[in-house]
Structure 1
Amino acid sequence: MSTILISSAKLVLPNHALHGEVIDVLIKDGTINRVGKKLEIADKDVHIIDGSGHIISAGFFDLHTNFGEPGLETKEDIVTGTKAAAFGGYTGVAVFPNTNPPLHSRSEIALVINTANGNVVDVYPVGSISKKREGKELAEMFDMKSVGAIAFSDGNHSVQQAGLMSRALLYAKGIDALIVSFAEDESIAGGNQMNEGEVSTFLGMKGKPNLAESLMVSRDLSLAEYHDATIHFTCISTKESVELIRKAKTKGVKVTCDVAAHNLVYSDEAVLGFDSNFKVNPPLRTNKDVKALLKGLKDGTIDAVVSQHTPHEVEYKNVEFQIAKDGIIGLQTTLPLLIKAGLQAEDIVNKLVVGPRQIVKQEMPLLAEGSKANLVLFSLGDKWIFDASSNKSKSTNSPLFGQELTGKVKAIVNNGQLVENR
């Protein structure tokens, strides 16, 4: 990449002087050279990208992504995962420690960082709270942070011992680190398959009650308040969780939270067809929960939206619903889902660009002259089909596979590299 001109795109980036204006952006050797209206370019070798009818902003950042590397590369490796992220508009992703071995020591953190080095998408590993994600003994958080861990979580294993979570919050406070809680009381959830409610009763399937999540949210909020520590909840899914976090914020508790994009669109009624691609954890909840999540997004209770990208081989999904693995791939479909949920351009930027970076204290790309180019160009109205030719992930476990979607990423620029979705 040498010289690129993105022309006639609407800038959406809060606090930018040209927010809401239609602008041109000239990029030379990975650095923003000029930003303005109707730029005149003398360079004949410039690569022009027509941004008419598109939104330009800083690149998306995903706080909850699952790749398989190390150990589960048949699901997704860093190369294919970052390719899917790039085509989904992401220039940065936080990868969770749901690997084998888990990201629970400095060697695994260093492996991820070194493998992803030089990629168009920046990859930030999230280290385990506990050794082997077993929830028994604290992992070496300081060592992991020193080599690049961006936060700490036991991934899709919720920390069941209150004492361990208490010590983790206190230790993280001492090293200025962030604890990410996946809230599920396993003794209440019972390893069940879907949301507990009318649909689960109709289908004759055991369900996970909202209480399994809200109990753990309540516990961890109490611990964070007690230690005056910072906590982040990932993938909240219930009305009760939204209300608990909203009240905690008004009290001054240092809490943030995110929601998975699919939980903003689908309810447990989607499970009526027994499509295992709708099997996720936390499960799809009721329409009342969906409405509460959307309200939480709009009033600022929910700070970010995540893809919760969770790839699986076909043999783990093309089976009966009861034995299928949890999770869907989501890096390329988060933008269309947010559009389907009714979010406007500024809402999308706030929840995919601004909020995530604020939570993990990452520098906000400026889109200003002289700054490193880190941006996304996307459309709210362009349609495309999510199928084998457009999917960049190794896996295909998505209920959206084969469907026409609205909302498309046209290009990203980061680390001196350009990825275009033609």
Structure 2
Amino acid sequence: MKVLIKNATIIDSESSYHGTTQDIRIKDGLIIEIGQKLASLKGETTIEKEDLHISQGWFDTSVSMGQPGYEERETIDNGLNVAARSGFTGVALNPNTYPIIDTSSDITFVKKMAEGHATSLYPIGALTRNSASVDLAELYDMQQSGAVAFGDYQTPIKNPNLLKIALQYTQGFNGLVLSFPQEQQIAGKGMVNEGVMSTRVGLKGIPTIAESLQIARDLHILEYAGGKLHIPTVSTKEGVALIRAAKSKKLNVTCSVAIHNLCLTDDLIEDFDTRYKVLPPLRNKEHVEALVAAVKDGTIDTVTSDHNPLDVERKNVEFDNAMYGAIAQEATFKALLTIVSEKRAITLLTAGRNLFIGQNNPVKEQVKADLTLFSTKGSQTFTKQDILSSSQNAIFLNKKVKGEVYGIIANNQVVLN
């Protein structure tokens, strides 16, 4: 592969070229030259785009694909193509498959299925066997096979001692533990945010204390046991405050927010549209404003799409019977750009790589080309034509978004929209 990228504005705080407009020459997957007015060489493919920006490749910390077991929702092959065209050069795969990814052979299988793609797949192993929150899964063996973290997707750890043991055990191999922030007995049979809107439409609510209580418990355990804890998809003002306080105490905790919890409010459930049935639920304006403040001040480390393709049999049903989940990867960057600056957006979309795999690929010479190409200009409405996934449960359908994703260069491949 020989590529010359012309007139690209580099957004990368780890690069000496940050904020400048440069040409970038890539050969065999390596950045070999950065400069201005570079001449095209024989055999090179030239990439020129309007308002072209480049950053380190984006990393999505929460992606579901279905395969194995739920291929009708999404296959790994198409899921990685969706990720590439959405600007992500790396994704962390949730273990909510059938069977659940809780053994080293399961990790090996999904990694094998992902070979040959521009976007790299990094499996999250289930923390407990069958994600049942009873016994720890074979964490070390999964880590040796390529698991980058351990967590039960959208399933709280009921037994606090299990979390304590997991945090202590994973210190032996620097493992990352995920704990979904919901106290299930408080949440009960709730399915939307508890508040004015849940009362108006007559749906059972999940109170915000269900999240903050679980986070408070987990942070106390982390302080006692040590280890590395990641709290995925925080959604409440109180949860953010607890994490901010824990970070000020130097606890080794990180967190993410789902892009829809950052942009949308629970007013949308008024029409019982199941695309808006997600977990954690969409909250009200007060919590959304707290989340936006937290991504701006660094309390929230990374933004995820929490991309969860579901087929029509799971979503086009009564609200009570619909499964939780939405697809958002195609709109993640464009929605995020409506809230924060381009520099902050890129920081939030690239931070997950270092958190989950301890690796960055700055835009520098003699560094692996792992790049996302995008534009920050223009606004448009996200339509059905923008959906790339096999499933159609797009939470940002008909919403205003900003910017454009041009594609990625990664794993010695070029994927352009």
Assess same fold via TM > 0.5.
Answer: yes
Offset, 1:200: 0.6
Match of 1:40 in 2: 39
- Counterpart contact for 2:50–2:375, Cα < 8 Å: no
Structure 2 CA distance for aligned equivalents of residues 295 and 141 of structure 1? 35
- Counterpart contact for 1:8–1:52, Cα < 8 Å: no
Instruction: Judge which range, 309-318 or 235-244, deviates more.
Output: 309-318
Match of 1:270 in 2: 268
Structure 1 CA distance for aligned equivalents of residues 164 and 95 of structure 2? 20
Match of 2:330 in 1: 332
Please list the CA deviations of residues 114-137 of structure 1 after superposition, one character each: whole Å capped at 9, or x if unmatched: 111121100000001100000000
Please list the CA deviations of residues 265-302 of structure 1 after superposition, one character each: whole Å capped at 9, or x if unmatched: 11111111211101100000110100100111111110
Count of residues paired in the alignment: 417
Match of 1:197 in 2: 195
Offset, 1:54: 2.3
Name the aligned partner's letter for residue 37 of structure 2: K
Name the aligned partner's letter for residue 125 of structure 1: P
1:78 maps onto 2:72 in alignment: no
Structure 2 CA distance for aligned equivalents of residues 383 and 6 of structure 1? 24
Structure 1 CA distance for aligned equivalents of residues 260 and 249 of structure 2? 30
Please list the CA deviations of residues 330-367 of structure 1 after superposition, one character each: whole Å capped at 9, or x if unmatched: 11110111022x211110111001x2122124311122
Offset, 1:389: 4.3
Structure 2 CA distance for aligned equivalents of residues 47 and 382 of structure 1? 26
Report the 3-state secondary structure (helix = DSSP H, G, I; strand = E; otherwise coil) of the residue aligned with 2:337: helix
Match of 2:348 in 1: 351
Spell out the pairing of 1:10-409 with structure 2 (5 A cutoff). 10-41=9-40, 43-340=41-338, 342-353=339-350, 355-383=351-379, 386-401=382-397, 405-409=401-405
Structure 2 CA distance for aligned equivalents of residues 396 and 126 of structure 1? 24
- Counterpart contact for 1:51–1:377, Cα < 8 Å: no
Structure 2 CA distance for aligned equivalents of residues 204 and 401 of structure 1? 25
Report the 3-state secondary structure (helix = DSSP H, G, I; strand = E; otherwise coil) of the residue aligned with 1:61: strand
Q: Structure 1 residues 294 and 384, CA, compared in 2 at 3 Å: closer, same or farther? A: closer
Offset, 1:370: 2.0
Instruction: Judge which range, 224-233 or 392-401, deviates more.
Output: 392-401
Please list the CA deviations of residues 178-207 of structure 1 after superposition, one character each: whole Å capped at 9, or x if unmatched: 001111111010131100011111111110
- Counterpart contact for 1:7–1:52, Cα < 8 Å: no
Please list the CA deviations of residues 98-154 of structure 1 after superposition, one character each: whole Å capped at 9, or x if unmatched: 111111000110001111112110000000110000000010000000000000001
Structure 2 CA distance for aligned equivalents of residues 277 and 210 of structure 1? 21
Instruction: Judge which range, 366-375 or 379-388, deviates more.
Output: 379-388
Name the % identity. 38
Structure 2 CA distance for aligned equivalents of residues 326 and 273 of structure 1? 16
Any stretches of 5+ residues in structure 1 without a counterpart?
none
Please list the CA deviations of residues 31-55 of structure 1 after superposition, one character each: whole Å capped at 9, or x if unmatched: 21211122123x2432211144122
- Counterpart contact for 1:9–1:52, Cα < 8 Å: no
Report the 3-state secondary structure (helix = DSSP H, G, I; strand = E; otherwise coil) of the residue aligned with 1:322: coil
Name the aligned partner's letter for residue 200 of structure 1: S
Structure 2 CA distance for aligned equivalents of residues 277 and 243 of structure 1? 29
Instruction: Judge which range, 200-209 or 403-412, deviates more.
Output: 403-412
What TM-score, normalized to structure 2?
0.97
Report the 3-state secondary structure (helix = DSSP H, G, I; strand = E; otherwise coil) of the residue aligned with 1:6: strand
